[in-house]
Amino acid sequence: MALGTAIRYLKQGDWQRAHEIVQADESTLGCWAHGIVHMIEGDIGNARYWYRRAHRVYPTTADTASELAALTQALKDATAKDSP
């Protein structure tokens, strides 16, 4: 799954490669990941935009580790929900 690959890149600190993936993903989780990319990049205005697209509140403290952990769990939950 492409979003899983993007998350791995984010955890490695490679936001540029993650950005290449998430900018093609219009899903709610993809928008959330896109927001995290811009949070890491330091582009807070753009990060807030993508959080709104993901229907999420932008965190008061930019704790990317917590956001990545929550995104990872949400992707696991979504994947498990789609499995037979």
Q: Cα 74 from chain centroid?
A: 10
Residue 79's pLDDT is what?
A: 87
Residue 67's pLDDT is what?
A: 95
pLDDT tens across 1-47, in order?
A: 699 999 999 999 999 999 999 999 999 999 999 999 999 999 999 99
Q: Which residue reads 């219009």 in tokens? A: 26
In 3D space, the residue among 57, 1, 2 whose CA is nearest the CA of residue 32 turns out to be 57
Query: What's the whole-model pTM score?
Result: 0.91
pLDDT band, residue 53 (cuts 50/70/90):
very high
CA distance 53 to 28: 7
